[in-house]
Structure 1
Amino acid sequence: MPPHVEDTARRSTTASAERLLNLLIALLDRESGYTREQLRAIVPGYDRAGNQDAFERMFERDKAHLRSLGYPVEEIPDDDPWASDAQLTPRYRVPRGSYRLPQVRFSAEESAVLAVAADAWNDAAQDRLARRALDKLEPALSTEAAPGKDLQPTVAVADPAFEPLLSAVLAHRTVRFDYVDRTGAFTQRTVQPWGVGSRYGAWYLAGWDTDRNAERTFRLSRIISEVAVTRETFDPPRDFSMGGRLAGMVRQRPHLRVIVFVREGAGQLLRRIAAPAPSPAWRAPEGFDAVALAVHDTESAAEHVCAAGPDARVPREPVPGIRDDAAPGELAPTAEGAPATDTASSAESASTSEDTPTAEDIATQNAVADAVARRLRDARAFQARMPGVDVRWGKQRRHGAAKASTEQHLARLLHIVRHVYAHQGAELEETARHFGITDAELVNDLQTL
């Protein structure tokens, strides 16, 4: 982007954030609120709206921004006793104290856990939300203890369905997606998403399946299409708890056994959850070991195989060596566990004899190989659409603020006020590092404030 264009965009974002901040101050200023026209007259920035329609659109966007940041903009009846019914217009306000937490103080241990949790997200969008939440809680955190430097957990969400589903949960929007259950059946689902959470190393969605008129739980890794978020809204049940739903899950014993050929000296994570192949019929080619992977479904097996990259292969039938059509695994999200999902009925064990592979054994091998091949085709197609992408593995910390949206800029301005208030006499450089911005960007924000 040319420098002059970038400067213009930055000035526009700053002006919008300043207008939002002025609007928030006005809405907090008077308990009886202001009408739209009054706000247009007293809030700097609305005078730039060329006409009434432009102002209405700008005001609606600003209300949405404030509400997304946790400020409940209320619409109340006009309190003018001399106005006629035709002249009555709604008034807007943010009730004082409605967005504030009650008096709370976290212990040193609780503060350390919160700090570690906020720093654990290995996803840019979720990391930003977690840091914003921690900033809001900062005045209540203890300064007696900090998380140890040797402890750095991460929460990685490899499922592309996670972010749109989380957004739909928060916005109460119905979603549609294609889903493959553990029997391998493909269906299209229309779901009112109630919550998203992690259990046994996998991510799950709980909600109401409108086509089946029943509550369902879905494993995110089995969503095989983009998640379409519709405009249809819903009201989730008041007594629903995603934590309670996840706590009610029972880790069921695996009921499928898949033979995988693993390269000697490699695939250690796969070997940790596998056992030596029980039957000599599955003889691995030279340089590989045959192991048996106990899983709940073919999709879970494909995830584990793909996570091992080219060091794992799935034979389709028990023959010496490896066939040309055996599927190598690579480029798939990792999974630490494979609990049961959805409501598909449990299948019988795929193997009834450890010595002689049955027809069900062969069918399971083929289903897993097909699932691995499908993932490879999808990965290859994605790579073809995105040539030259520079992938940086691991958690990346930026040294300066990227271009922020108006909402993000306003959130940072408010957090700066809260941080400086809680840390009287804070150094400029230290404060800039805390927010991940440069000294110059912090000075600009302070001038805006």
Structure 2
Amino acid sequence: MPPSNSPAAKTERLMNLVMTLLYTRRPLSRARIRETVEQYRLAPTDEAFERMFERDKEELRELGIPLATEEISAGWEDEPGYRIHARDYALPQIRFDADELAVLGLAARAWSHATLAAPAATALRKLRASGVEPDDEAFAFVEARLGTSEPAFGPLFDAVLAQAPVRFGYARPGEEAATRHVQPWGLTSQSGHWYLTGLDTDRGEPRVFRLSRISGKVTRAGKPGSYAVPADHDPVAMIRGRREGGRLDLVRLRVQSGSGNALRHRGIETAGDDGWDKVELPYSDPGDIAHELASYGASLIVEEPPAVRDAVITVLRAGADAHEEVGP
């Protein structure tokens, strides 16, 4: 069977080629590369392999990957060998401040909910290989195991990028689900939940939709690029405005040093001298913020109020019970 030409197959082929040339101790001939990289081995003819390999070489160089051409040995006459030197491929020393680490962690958290999970993991591995540790506790410890990913995230993410209208079923607490027609503007995570902001075309007003309340499939209801997102759109402010009139309380936390950068960014931080810092964070609903706090696992302690601490314990126990049911 000839190799697939899909974008995913091409990406996998390029990654296999890079890994092969990066970890070899000596230059590899074309024949050896064809034997090693599975997608090349499946090429139906020598000509098909040659065309594929030439295109891949050019693409790697356009991406800035230092593909070196070297002499293999005297016995190979004029045939060149190929390799990638680790010293040229390695990233330089990279330093990020707390806000930038929080953004990296949030981006990986978002991508872990959709079809971008594999590219996100690859990007994080490259960062860690260079000595950078993104603030990823918020998705690595508990969240993925509690089943918090929303089925609506993927199609809504694509619709936001394409500026394509959608329709979906949506149910407010205590109400029956009703079909909503929306021009998606943005997706934002707040207090452990994902929200869609956009224009509700049935009501002619901007609205906020919590993804966990979307029922059924999200389907396209118009052509891509058929509307424009307002230039002054601020999804975070829009979500907060939705809660105007509601009372905000403070949760007091102890956060392990080097962890919880996203929480520190949103709250008031007081440095400690025992490896733990104090952070005060505003919240409106114990249940909403409990999922976010629980995702930090042992890196965080809720000091008060008791309602939030109890909600976090409930979430953690639910996660532990789910693991016990699945078994090893």
Q: The TM-score by the shorter chain falls in which range? A: 0.3 to 0.5
Question: Higher Cα Rg: structure 1 or 2?
Answer: 1
* Greater share of helix: 2
* Greater share of strand: 2
Taking structure 2 as the reference length, the TM-score comes to: 0.41
Taking structure 1 as the reference length, the TM-score comes to: 0.31
